[in-house]
Amino acid sequence: MDVLAALESASLSMCSIATLLWMSIGTFSRAEGGEEITQRVIAILCVTSAVMLFALHYMGGDLWGSRNVARPFAVVALIVAGAGMLNLKGIDIQGETNPHQIMKMRREEAEEELE
Candidates 50, 17, 35; CA nearest to 87 is 35
pLDDT at residue 97, rounded to an integer: 64
How many domains in the chain? 1
Confidence of residue 49 (pLDDT cuts 50, 70, 90): very high
pLDDT at residue 89, rounded to an integer: 54
State yes or no: pLDDT of 43 exceeds 80. Answer: yes
Confidence of residue 88 (pLDDT cuts 50, 70, 90): low
Range of the structural domain that residue 105 is part of: 3-114
Confidence of residue 11 (pLDDT cuts 50, 70, 90): confident
Reported pTM: 0.69
Candidates 75, 33, 38, 37; CA nearest to 54 is 75
Instruction: From residue 48, give the alpha-carbon distance in Å to each of 6, 32, 52, 64.
Output: 14, 26, 6, 19
State yes or no: pLDDT of 99 exceeds 80. Answer: no
